[in-house]
């Protein structure tokens, strides 16, 4: 009896051991895992690698044996819990007032029908979004990026796709001027800004996963660009239509993912194209073809024909899978604030890349390394300055460190460390500062009086001379205007890393004057808050130093 019990226990132990056994990994991966002293991290890394193997390893034979490639179709925005479309709530509206979801759903339905007809592909999503894609309803609900990741993981999706439309930032939307070049007063959250819109926002682009070192996401984005451009559609000038992105949760937490941005609905020309059913078919077909071609050239399996799945020659899926694994390990360490290990793995990844084939991947890795290493240098510098009592300089360095790791979810823990220190520096400065603080005055009260040294907002509009712009800003006497104008046009304004130009072109300039009325500095900006406590301008703020203020009569 005792022997039988021991035998049963032995079997249970064997079964348990086999259930947690991990697949054999390449030597470089095994070395990284073996060097990890934290058991929790080691286990999580191995589980992540096992998940990647389950999705992509030996995909050729698995598909030939009847397994389908699963694509998770992410709902583009949708209805929120309050019953309103997110596109409408967040200002993602077209020129004709339609929310982003209106056009997104039309494109998604056409792409879905193409994917659905392919016998080697299975499309999964939320039930309500599938119903919308099937045409059973026009309504579907918004889910978070994190929910997308969990649903895609549960479905063991090969990739995540999402059909979106682009839009200008909401700050440029006051009075319908969202795509009109020039200088305009705009509003955001009730605050007034002066904005210089230099170019129209138009054209398609694809946001691809910056952490996908297999090259799949980048190749897919590149193929979409080539195909749509060949058919006469405009490419957005942001990285020529292929944009490496790390702002979205599923880009950080899902191996392969892309967002199609098929034009600016805030541009009337783009909206006209997106309203055309034939162009919708063209865009959807392009996305479909690009997905299939990229699967073939990354994983070596062609599922585009009626002849059945075919193995593609001259493709090395194992190498692509190794690069993907290394990038995911680096991402894991960075997101857990172990940036030293993260940078180490990024360095290993760079050595595995082929400069001839992986130029875009190399650029992304180098950018990631730079942001981490430079931000840590600035953080260390800020701490040293703090110890010396140089609080404002320390805060400036810390703010620069934060800006290098802003937005991306992968930097959340690192950013939190920096912000905690920054907050402490800010509190110390506020406790020791005796300077009075002013809030922006209500429009119904007289603006604050200005000194000659308060920065001047100078707005040069189209066909306007610098002297006219300076007079509008200050409305000063002829002698002072002549003096400032002659110095202003001789100033140098930085317009690039090593490029300067004279401030004679259309734009918004911040001019610093000395107490004697000489031009000390000139800076060009694209947008500035209309704040009379910080700037003076007689046209926009009614507070020029040169214009006498009327005394308010008391009753």
pLDDT tens-digit profile, the chain (555 residues)? 444 444 434 443 343 433 445 668 999 999 999 999 999 999 999 999 999 999 999 999 999 999 999 999 999 889 999 999 888 887 777 778 888 888 899 999 999 999 999 999 999 999 999 999 999 999 999 998 899 999 999 999 999 999 887 765 443 333 333 444 566 666 555 567 777 666 555 666 667 788 888 888 888 888 888 877 777 766 655 444 456 666 666 677 889 988 888 777 777 778 888 889 999 999 999 999 999 999 999 999 999 987 889 999 999 999 999 999 999 999 999 999 999 999 999 999 999 999 998 998 999 999 999 999 999 999 999 999 999 999 889 999 999 999 999 878 889 999 999 999 888 876 665 555 544 444 444 444 445 567 899 999 999 987 889 999 999 899 999 999 999 999 999 998 876 666 678 888 888 999 999 999 999 999 988 888 888 899 999 888 888 989 876 444 333
Q: Does domain 353-433 have CATH number 1.20.1090?
A: no
**Fold match between 64-166+200-311 and 353-433?**
no
pLDDT at 16: 40
Q: Where are the beta strands (DSSP E) in 120-266?
A: 121-124, 159-166, 182-188, 191-197, 205-209, 242-245, 257-264
**CB-side exposure of 520: number of CA atoms within 13 Å?**
12
Sign of the Cα pseudo-torsion (203, 206, 207, 211, in order): negative
Which residues, including other chains, have CB under 8 Å from residue 119's CB and lie 6 or more apart? none
* Cβ neighbours for 253, distance < 8 A, ≥ 6 positions apart: 146, 149, 409
Domain ranges across the chain? 64-166+200-311, 353-433, 456-529
327 neighbors 335 (Cβ within 8 angstroms): no
Summarize pLDDT for 247-257 with one digit per residue, the tens. 666 677 889 98
Strand partners, 529: 193
Q: Is the pTM of this model over 0.85?
A: no
pLDDT of residue 436: 47
Is 162:76 a contact under the CB 8 Å cutoff?
Answer: yes
Assess contact for 488 and 457: CB atoms under 8 A. no
Instruction: Tell me 36's DSSP state.
Output: -
Secondary structure letter of residue 552 according to DSSP: P
Distance set, CA 104 to CA 53, 197, 200 (Å): 32, 26, 21
pLDDT at residue number 197: 62
> How many whole angstroms separate alpha carbon 348 and alpha carbon 67?
33
438: left (phi over 0), alpha (psi -120 to 50) or beta: beta
Residue pair 477/546 in contact (Cβ under 8 Å)? The answer is yes
Bridge partner list, 507? 460
All residues at 6 or more sequence positions from 409 whose CB lies less than 8 Å from its CB, including other chains: 246, 247, 248, 249, 252, 253, 335
Contact indicator for 217, 191 with CB cutoff of 8 Å? no
d(C-alpha 369, C-alpha 375), whole Å: 10
Per the CB < 8 A criterion, the answer to whether 375 and 399 are in contact is no
Closest residue by Cα to residue 194 from 206, 205, 180, 182? 182
**Nearest CA-CA partner of 345 in 21, 48, 23:** 48
| Cα 11-15-19 angle, rounded to 5 deg | 170
Question: What is the three-class DSSP state of 68?
Answer: coil
Homologous superfamily in CATH for domain 64-166+200-311: Zn-dependent exopeptidases (3.40.630.40)
Look up tokens 């009569």; give the residue: 553
The span from the CA of 289 to the CA of 296, in Å, is 11
Q: What is the predicted pLDDT for the residue at 168? A: 56
pLDDT for res 209: 80
The stretches of 466-527 forming alpha helices (DSSP H) are 466-474, 478-488
């Amino acid at each position: 009896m005792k022997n039988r019990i021991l035998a049963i226990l032995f079997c249970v132990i064997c079964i348990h051991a086999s259930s947690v056994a991990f697949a054999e990994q390449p030597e470089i991966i095994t070395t990284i895992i073996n060097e990890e002293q934290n058991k929790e991290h080691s286990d999580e890394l191995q589980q992540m690698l096992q998940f990647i193997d389950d999705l992509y390893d030996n995909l050729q034979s698995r598909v030939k044996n009847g397994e389908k490639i699963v694509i998770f179709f992410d709902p583009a925005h949708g209805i929120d819990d309050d019953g309103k479309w997110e596109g409408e709530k967040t200002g993602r509206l077209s020129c004709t007032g339609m929310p982003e979801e209106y056009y997104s759903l039309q494109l998604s339905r056409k792409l879905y029908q193409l994917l659905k007809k392919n016998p080697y592909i299975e499309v999964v999503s939320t039930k309500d979004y599938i119903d919308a894609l099937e045409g059973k309803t026009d309504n579907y609900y918004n889910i978070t990026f994190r929910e997308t990741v969990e649903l895609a993981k549960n479905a063991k999706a090969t990739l995540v796709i999402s059909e979106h439309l682009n839009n200008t930032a909401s700050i440029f939307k006051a009075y319908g001027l969202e795509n009109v070049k020039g200088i305009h007063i705009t509003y955001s959250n009730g605050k007034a800004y002066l904005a210089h819109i230099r170019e129209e926002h138009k054209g398609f682009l694809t946001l691809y996963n910056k952490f996908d070192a297999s090259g799949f996401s980048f190749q897919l984005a590149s193929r979409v660009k080539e195909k749509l451009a060949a058919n006469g559609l405009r490419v957005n000038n942001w990285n020529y239509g292929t944009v490496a992105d790390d702002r979205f949760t599923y880009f950080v937490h899902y191996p392969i993912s892309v967002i199609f941005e098929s034009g600016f609905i805030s541009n009337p020309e783009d909206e006209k194209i997106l309203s055309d059913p034939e162009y919708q078919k063209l865009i959807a077909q392009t996305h479909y073809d690009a997905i299939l071609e990229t699967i073939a050239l990354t994983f070596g399996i062609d599922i585009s024909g009626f002849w059945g799945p075919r193995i593609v020659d001259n493709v090395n899926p194992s190498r692509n899978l190794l690069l993907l694994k290394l990038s995911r390990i680096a991402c894991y360490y960075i997101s857990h604030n172990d940036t030293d290990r993260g940078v180490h793995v990024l360095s290993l990844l760079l050595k595995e890349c082929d400069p001839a084939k992986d130029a875009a991947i190399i650029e992304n890795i180098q950018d990631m390394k730079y942001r981490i290493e430079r931000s840590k240098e600035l953080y260390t510098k800020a701490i040293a300055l703090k110890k010396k009592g140089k609080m404002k300089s320390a805060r400036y360095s810390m703010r620069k460190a934060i800006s290098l790791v802003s937005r991306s979810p992968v930097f959340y823990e690192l950013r939190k460390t920096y912000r905690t220190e920054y907050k402490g520096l800010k509190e110390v400065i506020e406790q020791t500062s005796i300077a009075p603080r002013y809030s922006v005055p209500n429009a119904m009260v007289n603006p604050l009086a200005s000194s000659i040294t308060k920065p001047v907002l100078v707005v040069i509009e189209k066909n306007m001379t610098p002297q006219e712009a300076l007079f509008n800003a200050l409305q000063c006497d002829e002698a002072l205007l002549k003096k400032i104008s002659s110095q202003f046009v001789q100033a140098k304004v930085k317009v690039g890393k090593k490029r300067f130009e004279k401030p004679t072109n259309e734009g918004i300039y911040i001019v610093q004057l000395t107490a004697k009325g000489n031009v000390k500095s000139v800076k060009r900006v694209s947008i500035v808050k209309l704040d009379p406590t910080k700037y003076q301008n007689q046209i926009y703020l009614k507070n020029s130093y040169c214009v006498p203020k009327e005394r308010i009569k008391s009753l």
